[in-house]
Structure 1
Amino acid sequence: MSEENKNGNNTDNGEQQSKGLLNVIEKIGNKLPEPFFIFIYLAGIVMILSMIFHWFGATVEHPGTGEMLEIKSLLSFEGLEFILSSMISNFTGFAPLGLVLVMMFGIGLADKVGLLETAIKSSILKAPKSLITYAVVFVGILGNIASDAAFVLIPPLAAMVFYTIGRHPLAGLAAGFAGAGSGFTANILVTGTDALLSGITTEAAKSIDESFIVTPVDNYFFMAASVFIMTIVGGLITDKLVEPRLGEYKGNVEKEVNEVTALELRGLRNAVIAALIYIAVVLLLIFLPGSSLTNEDGGLIPSPLLSNIVPIILLLFITVGSAYGITTKKIKSQNDVVTYMAESIKGMAGYIVLIFAAAQFIAYFNWSNLGTWIAVNSADALISINLTGLPIVIAFSVLMTLLNLIIFSGSAQWALMAPIFVPMFMLLDYNPAFIQAAYRIADSSTSVITPLNPYILLVLAVMRNYQKNTGLGTLISMMLPYALSFFGIWVVMLIIFALLGIPFGPGVGVNM
């Protein structure tokens, strides 16, 4: 047998084994209870663990404040009072719930009047099909400029794009979710994430050097390069692994793709004009002297503009959706706007129910201090290994991927970990900005496979709109190749930058 045939067979065997493993993960995952009950069971487990840890007097020192925290039992009078008194506020105060519902007002309006479909048919359908996957991943990665709103906006639109061009909608959803989730930390722009994480890193570094500052651009070169590399990686995974495994789409969604009419084109034109006017007004408000949208120095990072980007995007969607709907006669009175918004929220009923259970579990986990205990003790275990050089940095990244499965918020996890690891690595002569980059790639990669990501429930709800018999196992098996590949490629990039002395940002190397 020739080497070519041997290599071909090896490749085929490898692909079959990979698909077989993902099929096993999907089958096991889909045998799990509904996500609502998964969170209920997890909440019960947290209750029992909190009681056991409390009995043994478990405590943990908060790395940021130095406060000694005890594990509080949920199965106590104090715990019972917390469970009952916080049940409603846990739900109504759960930040992702409000973000998703508010965004759906605008997105739903634009969808119901037909704007999104017309925009897709007028632009993406005319683009080379070979580039659409990469465009979806690229847009998903850049979407983090809108912070968590990217999770709400990108995956459903990506599914619609793929469906419209005759491809499997779940493959499009996966590509969009991978870009928005696993690629969350990368961007060719400096975003609020850069400012938030660099501020936490700076505070942690001051325990060693009061004058040390990590700026929002200290990871810029690394993250900007990541956008293009991860776009290629995400596109290849979608086209070569995820979509072939999904097979031909035979769902029950029947939607005839008609040519764009002259009236729809006029509506699209007016929507674009409305968007340009809206953006011009926002820019005017930004650059006016003493603008309330900028910070005290007149800058945008951080600023009220970025902090309030979700309402700004909501108003943009309402503006363009209304302009399109009025032009195409889909909106004949102001009551129609309310009707379309209400219809869009009806489809979110399942998500709202899921979030109720998820919010309780996360609240119990945080109140009991179990999350902090696990994070700090995991960090201590890594420190005790006594590794040196790049291996300890890689081990640190691996630990962060595991912790991300139980602490979804990137800023919350870094606020816990930075006071422990930044000073430790500084004493080993590592630049805090380099360690921050090692953290960011880990935190971002696995966000698409952790059930504690509240937006994974939204993605699951969108999946079921196209394919009813999908479960959490389907979603995790579909996203696992992205999570592992993004993290693996990022680790390789980290090593290459370190060994070749490529700066991670302006003047930022591996060592201080």
Structure 2
Amino acid sequence: MTTTSKQAGPEAAPDRLPRVLRALAVVERLGNALPHPFWLFWILAGLLAVASAALSAAGVSVVSPADGETVVVQNLLSGDGLAMAVSTAVDNFATFGPMGTIVAVIMGVAIAERTGFLAALMKVSVSRVPVSWVVFAVAFAGTVSHVASAAAYIILVPLGGLAFRAVGRSPILGVVVAYTSIASGYDASPVPTPNDAIFAGITTEAARIIDPAAYVSPVSNWFFNIASSLLLATVITLVTRLVLARRPDLDADPDADLDDVAGLELSPRDRSALRVALLAGLATMAAIAAAVLPPSSPLRGADGSLTESPFLDGIAAVVAVLFAVVGIVYGWRSGAVSKASDVPRLMAEGVRQMAPVLVLFFAIAQFLQYFDWTHIGDVVAVNSAEALRTSGVPIWVVFLAILALLSVVNVLVTSGSAMWAIAAPVVVPMLMLLEVPAETTQALFRIADSGSTSITPMSPYFIMALGFLQRYRKDAGIGTLASYTLPLAVCMTLAWTLLFFAWWGLGIPLGPGAPVR
């Protein structure tokens, strides 16, 4: 930990970043002016209705590449449009792609989270590493922690401060590393997460505009995610050591109420519970592998295929069962689960925690149905693809343009599912017409959805992280945290983009049965 006086530090950082801080202030004002995502989708639906009326009156149409039929824009403000909106409202919600998947996954994850298994696993992962590996350990734990969804911030960010302090480094740096690894690496988990299920469902709905039989599985980007998590943890480690660790303002306030480093330690009972739970998890994975690996397994598809199989179709249930097993075993050994009725209670608590997301899903489901019914997506996708094809613009330029646009939008619309629901119906079909698989477009979106998250004050978790930072620096503000996270976020986004292009160039599959091109 540096011994440079703290007084010069807080003044030095803002002096070096005046333009950045002014830009952040503008971003904060713009973001605060946006409505809640629920209302944003209804506003977009209203704008869509007006646009559909105008385009329908103009007789706008396009030839569908799916079947060669002429598709005409339909008026959402017509009688037929009203009848469609009313008659399909419930079905839109009930059959919305991510709905069942996310509920199934979250019930299993909730058991692992609420029994304390995930928190115990994170503590062990950041507390039992050599001093030289502590940055990488916290950063990699941040990418893995996404399986706990929003709970990752609550659990790991304060643990990051504790872990750094335990090895004699600045707890301020620990908070920054933990927060940035979660926020700017949110879609790069090596373990399938609820977000994977949400994105896959939205991508599937968008891809069916072009191919009615399209299906994108929750593990369609799994290989890419594993490599991304390792790369981002490495980038965080290098930038932290070469840039952030040299800042002169890393000392905690002299009167800061420092957390007890013993908080990283598990009780003997919890350590025993964690060991048994991990063994149970390994045994469960071995049983799953034994059921899937034989070529004649009923969990395989036609001709023994694993890429198109009942196993991958039900991967969300498999993930849920795996987390449920380790959670139940941990809870039973630690005392968090004392009777059978505790298990469904914990599952119900997890579903209740997802209630705000399910409410948002209702609005998203209606908007996507309206968008599909009007055929505006077909017109935009086909015409845009044709314009790009005839212009001769290289596909990598198109990728960069989409990445830049979505990264800017992400600063204001920090909900990944909301942003993807808006963008996917346009960019997925458009790129499919340019022979880019939907899974590849989704991988590109992951970068845009994550990179700028750690620098935007629009994220509620930015404010949460600021609260943890203020435990050590009472005068820390939005600009303070942003000035720490900015170099990390920029370098992570650049490195992740380069990885994407390398992946694309080499033609490596993004996941099981998901070719990159």
Partners in 1 of 2:240 and 2:67 — Cα distance? 44
Q: Within the alignment, does 1:273 sit opposite 2:279 as a pair?
A: yes
Aligned to 1:416: 429
Give, in whole Å, the separation in 2 of the partners of 1:232 and 1:71.
Answer: 49
| Contact 1:106-1:341 at 8 Å conserved across structures | yes
Match for residue 161 of structure 1 among 156, 159, 168:
156
- Determine the C-alpha separation between the residues in 1 that align with 2:183 and 2:17: 23
Between 1:95-104 and 1:43-52, the stretch displaced more is 95-104
Q: Distance in 2 between matches of 1:169 and 1:111?
A: 21
Letter in 2 for 1:303: S
Structure 2, gaps ≥5 residues long: 1-10, 162-170, 211-220, 410-418, 468-477, 510-516
Which residue number corresponds to residue 106 of structure 1? 108
Scaled by the length of structure 1, the TM-score of the pair is: 0.67
- 2 CA distance for matches of 1:293 and 1:308? 9
How big is the shift at 1:28? 1.3
Contact 1:408 1:447 in 2 (8 A): no
Call closer, same or farther: CA 1:399–1:154 in 2, change over 3 Å.
same
Provide the rounded CA distance (Å) in 1 between the counterparts of 2:314 and 2:67. 28
Give 1:38-437 correspondences, 5 Å limit. 38-127=40-129, 131=133, 134-135=136-137, 153=148, 156-157=151-152, 159-166=154-161, 172=178, 174-181=180-187, 183=188, 228-233=230-235, 257=263, 259-288=265-294, 290-387=296-393, 392-401=394-403, 416-417=429-430, 420-422=433-435
Change (3 A) 1:152 1:260: closer
**SS at the partner of 2:108?**
helix
Q: Structure 1's 450 and 372: CA in aligned 2 closer, same or farther, altered over 3 A?
A: farther
Asked if 1 retains the 8 angstrom alpha-carbon contact of 2:41 and 2:367, the reply is: yes
Where 1:54 maps in the other structure, the secondary structure is helix
Partner SS for 1:72:
coil
Cα distance per residue 1:342-368 (max 9 Å; x no partner):
222222222222222222222212221
| Matched residues, number | 434
Kept in 2: contact 1:64–1:415 (CA 8 A): no
Structure 2 residue identity aligned to 1:123: S
Q: CA deviation at 1:417?
A: 3.6
- Give the C-alpha shift of residue 276 in structure 1: 1.8
Offset of 1:127 from its aligned partner? 2.9
Q: Which amino acid aligns with 2:155?
A: M
By how many angstroms is 1:59 displaced? 1.2
Q: Is the contact between residue 126 and residue 137 of structure 2 (CA under 8 Å) also seen in structure 1?
A: no
Q: Sort the Cα spacing of 1:267 and 1:314 in 2 relative to 1 into closer, same or farther, 3 A.
A: same
* Contact in 2 for aligned 1:100/1:152 (Cα 8 Å): no
Q: Deviations over 1:430-475 (max 9, x none)?
A: xx89x997x5764442244899xxxxxxx9687788789xxxxx9x
Query: Which ranges of structure 1 fall in alignment gaps of 5 or more residues?
Result: 1-8, 144-149, 205-218, 423-431, 452-458, 469-473, 507-511
2: distance between equivalents of 1:282 and 1:32? 46
Post-superposition shift, 1:231?
4.1
Report the CA distance between 1:408 and its aligned residue. Answer: 5.0
Residues 445 and 485 (structure 1), Cα distance of their counterparts in 2 relative to 1, 3 Å cut: farther
Q: Structure 1 residues 185, 484: closer, same or farther in 2, change over 3 A? A: farther
Task: Indicate conservation of the 8 Å contact 2:153/2:461, yes or no.
Answer: no
Find the counterpart in structure 2 of residue 147 from structure 1: none
- 1:157 is displaced (CA, Å) by 2.8
Aligned partner of 2:38 in structure 1 is 36
Change (3 A) 1:255 1:460: farther
Return closer, same or farther for 1:345/1:491 CA change in 2, 3 Å cut-off. closer
Residue 167 of structure 2 is matched in structure 1 by: none
Q: Using a 3 Å threshold, how does the CA distance of structure 1 residues 222 and 165 change in structure 2: closer, same or farther?
A: closer
Q: Distance in 2 between matches of 1:495 and 1:325?
A: 43
Shift of 1:311: 0.5
Shift of 1:71: 1.3
Q: Deviations over 1:87-133 (max 9, x none)?
A: 11222222223222222211211222222222222232333577566
After superposition, the Cα gap between the structure-2 partners of 1:467 and 1:292, relative to the gap in structure 1 and judged at 3 Å, is: farther
Structure 2 residue aligned with 1:210? none
- Cα pair 1:271 1:323 within 8 Å, conserved: yes
Work out the CA distance in 1 between the residues paired with 2:56 and 2:240.
46
Find the residue that maps to 2:400 and give its secondary structure: helix
SS in 1 for 2:185: helix
For 1:281, what is the secondary structure of its paired residue? helix
Instruction: Give the superposition deviation at 1:77.
Output: 1.0
Deviation at 1:180, TM superposition (A): 4.5
Alpha carbons of structure 1 residues 503 and 322: separation in structure 2 relative to 1, 3 Å: closer
Secondary structure of 1:42's match? helix
Q: Give the Cα separation in 2 of the matches to 1:99 and 1:111.
A: 18
CA distance in 1, matches of 2:85, 2:279: 51
CA 1:348–1:65: 2 relative to 1, 3 Å:
same
Which letter maps to 1:65? Answer: D
User: Quick one: structure 1 residues 58 and 220, their matched pair in 2 at CA, closer, same or farther if it must change by over 3 Å?
Assistant: same
The separation in 2 between residues aligned to 1:12 and 1:466, in whole angstroms, is 19
Correspondence for 2:166 = none
State the identity as a percent.
25
Shift in Å, 1:382: 2.3
SS at match of 1:69: strand
The 5 A counterparts of 1:13-32 are 15-32=17-34
The superposition leaves residues 318-344 of structure 1 with CA deviations (integer Å, 9 ceiling, x where unpaired) of 111111111122222111112222222
CA distance in structure 1 between the partners assigned to 2:46 and 2:363 by the alignment: 11
CA contact (8 A) 2:63 2:71 kept: yes
* 1:137-173 deviations in Å (ceiling 9; x for gaps): 65777x7xxxxxx965456435522223337879746
Q: In structure 1, give the amino acid aligned to 2:400.
A: V
Query: How far off is 1:76 after superposition?
Result: 0.9
The residue type paired with residue 376 of structure 1 is: V
Query: Structure 2 length as normaliser, TM-score?
Result: 0.66
Number of the residue aligned with 1:428 = none
Q: Distance in 2 between matches of 1:394 and 1:186?
A: 28
**Residue 35 of structure 1: how far off its partner (Å):** 1.6
CA contact (8 A) 2:64 2:70 kept: yes
What is the DSSP-based 3-state SS (H/G/I as helix, E as strand, rest coil) of the residue aligned with 1:334? coil
What SS does the corresponding residue of 2:302 show, helix, strand or coil?
coil
Partner residue, 2:474: none
2:304 aligns to what SS in structure 1? coil
The change in CA–CA distance for 1:329 and 1:172 in structure 2 (over 3 A counts) is: same
Question: Which residue matches 2:513?
Answer: none
1:313 corresponds to which letter in structure 2? Answer: V
